[in-house]
Structure formats: C-alpha cells, structure tokens
Amino acid sequence: MRIMLISNNLSTDPYAVFPLGPGIIANVLRQKKHEVKQIDLLAANATDASLRKAISDFDPQLVGISIRNIDNVNSLSPCFFLDDAARTTQIVRDETQAGIFLGGAGFSLMPEAVLAYVGADYGIVGAGESAVIALAQAIDSGTEIDRLLYAVNFPAAFSGAAYDDDIVEYYLRETGILPIQTKRGCPHHCVYCSYPLLEGTRCRQRSCAEIVDEMVFLRDKFHPAMFYFTDSIFNDPESSYLELLETMVARGISVPWSAFFTPADFTSASITLMRRSGIKTAELGADAMTDATLAGLGKNYNFAMVEKSCAAFLKQDIQVSCSYIAGGPDETKITLLEGINNVSRLKQVPAFVFMGIRILPDTPIESIARREGIISNDHNLLYPTFYFSPAVPKEQMYNILEAGFKSVKHAVFPPHSMSNELRVYRKLQTALTGKGAK
C-alpha cells in the first residue's frame, strides 16, 4: 500500500526533536514492502498548500498522523497542541478518501479523547510496530478492524527507526542531535508519571549489537554531534545499560551522548564506563527538592542521594543537570524554602525548576487530585490540568520560588525564562563537540 506518515509536532521548545516514533513505524512498514512517504511538518517547513500538494502527489491509500505532545506540561505558560493535529487531519480529509490513523505518546495517553478531538478514523495505542502491520493488512484486504488497536494485544516488537535523509538533515542543522531508544518500560512508581503506562512496568532492552550497529550506521552516514538515548530511565535497576556502554566502547563509538538518569548509588566504575563511551551530560530527574516532597512523589531515594549522584558525575568531570517539579504532594512553605536551599547548594549543577504537575489519566496523582478535591470526577484531563499542593496558595508558591531562585545563577525559574536558557545550554553542549550543530 501507499502509506503517508505525517509527523505533526511543531514544537521547538526546548528544542526541535527528531520524530523517532514515526521513523520506527515507517521502518516496519517498509520492511513489509509498503511504500511509505514520511512528512515532518517542521522539517519540511510545510504550509497548508504544500501539505495538500504532497498528499495529492503521493495519493496515499492510508495516512498515519503522529501525535507526540498533547501540551507542553508547563503550568506557567501552557500550550495545547491538538488544534494543530485537528487541522492537519482536516487537510488530509479534504485531499483524500484514505483512512486516517493516529499514534504516538501523546495520543496513547488519552486515545479515545484525542481520536474524537482530532477526528481521525483509527488509533494505535502504545508501541506501534505490530499493530500498524495488522491495521495496514486489514485496510488493504477490506477486513473490518477495531477503531482502537492496543499494542498489548499484539506480539511485542522493538524496532529501530528509518532515518530519512531530508528529515535527519533538518534536525542535524537545528541541534546536531539524533535520538535512539535502547529500552522501554520503567519499574518505578512515581505518582505523577505516565511512562510506565506508555511503555510498561518492566524494562525491555533492545539487543546491544543491534543498537550499536545503528549508531555506527548513523555516525558514518550523518556525523551527528550527539546521540540522545530517549529511554524513560537510562540507568535501569538491572544495569543492562552497562552492557550497552561496554559494546559501544568495544566498537569504538566516539559520538558524545546524553540520557535521562534517575538518582542512584552509581559506582565509580559505572561512571568511568559512561565517560569512556562518550557521555556528554547526564540529565538527572531529581524531580523534588526535599526528602518530604520526594516521598510525596513516590520516589525511592532522598535528597542526599540526588547530591551523591551529582557528585559521582562531577568527580569524573561529567556535566550533570537536574530537573525539579515544585508544588507536588506534601509541598509546604517550609519544604519550598528547604528545597531552594538544597538546590542552591548544588552550585555546579544547572537546575530547571517547574511548578505544578500535569495530571494525566490513570496515574496515582489523578486519584490524589480527586481525593483532595482538586479535580471533579468528570473533569476532562485532555486540557492541561495541574496538581498544586493545597498547602500553599499557587501565587505564594510562585513568589517564594521566584524570590528564592532570583540570585541563584545555576537555577532557572520560572520555566518561561527556561526556554532560551535551556536552548543556550543545549547549543553549548553540542557546540562543544565541534561537530554537526549549527
């Protein structure tokens, strides 16, 4: 079949990200001999007219639209992205009779609601590799198929992506970064987090040899400035990431990389291995700023562990940054002040501080918010809705954080001042490698 895949994500905050999910879908469909045309609306600098023309030139028999983000999860300058997706869907409808299906992380968080809002025909919830093949087969043969296909009902698969030249070139020009996913799933139970819902609660790693083959291919073909491992947590509790790093060292991958880490008792040998395999910077999801609020988020570590993790990286001259969310369960005026103090102490660690937690369906924070009367039973979570600890009025929370972090040079608050600073920070990371980035 001729299948068009449209990546609808226009967000460039904190930076433009290569559409890895649609790339995987394109790859598996091509392996089944479907003719696939990928269009990334950002990379193509698409207008309504150019999108219409691309559709009529390709004349697809099926069109997939990827929905990565519903919103920007930022309570202080919220953006809602589904109107763009609805508009793209309408353009596709105008130009072709082909069936339209949705997929992607944003879509999978609220599939029924997003399908209805955007006005598409079908949706694939979760990892799309196997379900998309079944969907294409059914449409091709005229067999009836459910509107929503859930990945859990299909054989597990974990594929690499197609990295189409025109799309890769745009992202390399913009950031120098190419993303790779090495594992899926997270076994932790942080109260606000949707990642285990999206990817499951068990870590499943792709074969190290396959990942490193892909890195060698990408390095030699595109010369990226940096790889970004998009795993929910890179340092899984079983430490399977160390095997990957060993394979990278053995194969002489010399491209810098970065990833999300959760605070842990890192051994110096593991950090040495990260350094030898080219780590550029560790993004530590510290998430809360005090012991009490870490416990409120369901974390299994305390702030001393955050400090210990940072120190372990810094000791081997590895740059580390931390992100925090103020205002979660058990936040009080006292924890805010204590947290500002804690974060200020970590002078060598850039800190990015958000306020309020985006409430996503089926996460424990949703039940907490209902219990505390923050949302009603029929509240529509499609529209950005945030949890703020009822113990501190929101405005007061903002004022405490703003005043507290004003003179703390390594901390960014409020988040709308973050975009530029984070962008500068990222650019600096890639520029320092001297390759690829603008």
Please answer whether residues 39 and 96 qualify as being in contact, where contact means their C-beta atoms are separated by less than 8 angstroms. Answer: no
Considering the rule CB under 6 A, would residue 186 count as an interface residue with ligand SF4? yes
Nearer to ligand B12, 283 or 291 (CB): 283
Nearer to ligand B12, 134 or 311 (CB): 134
**384 φ/ψ angles, rounded to the nearest 5 degrees:** -50, 120
Choose among ligand B12, ligand SF4, none what residue 302 binds, the Cβ cut-off being 5 to 8 Å by kind.
none
Strand partners, 284: 261, 322
Please answer whether residues 51 and 91 qualify as being in contact, where contact means their C-beta atoms are separated by less than 8 angstroms. Answer: yes
- What are 156's two structure tokens? 């597990």
Using CB under 6 A, which of 14, 196, 200, 350 touches ligand SF4? Answer: 196
The residues in 271-330 that bind ligand SF4, with binding defined as CB under 6 A, are: 285
The interaxial angle of helices 111-118 and 82-95, nearest 10 deg, is: 50
Choose among ligand B12, ligand SF4, none what residue 129 binds, the Cβ cut-off being 5 to 8 Å by kind.
ligand B12
Nearer to ligand B12, 230 or 291 (CB): 230
- How near is the Cβ of 254 to ligand SF4 at its closest, in Å? 29
| DSSP string over 130-154 | HHHHHHHHHHHHT----SEEEGGGS
Nearer to ligand SF4, 129 or 236 (CB): 236
Considering the rule CB under 6 A, would residue 193 count as an interface residue with ligand SF4? yes
Please answer whether residues 274 and 249 qualify as being in contact, where contact means their C-beta atoms are separated by less than 8 angstroms. Answer: no
Q: For residues 171 and 304, give the distance between their C-alpha atoms in angstroms, rounded to a whole number.
A: 38
Interaction site with ligand B12 (CB under 6 A): 5, 9, 11-14, 16-18, 20-22, 24-25, 64-66, 68-74, 101, 103-106, 108-109, 124, 127-129, 132, 177, 179, 181, 194-195, 198-199, 228, 230, 232, 358
| DSSP string over 219-258 | HHHH--SEEEE--S-SS-TT-HHHHHHHHHHHTT----EE
| Backbone torsion region of residue 287, taken as left when φ is above 0, otherwise alpha when ψ lies between -120 and 50, otherwise beta | left
In the shown chain, the binding pattern of residues 209 to 248 toward ligand SF4, with x for contact by CB under 6 A and - for none, equals -----------------------xx---------------
Residues binding ligand SF4 (CB under 6 A)? 186, 188, 190, 193, 195-196, 232-233, 262, 285
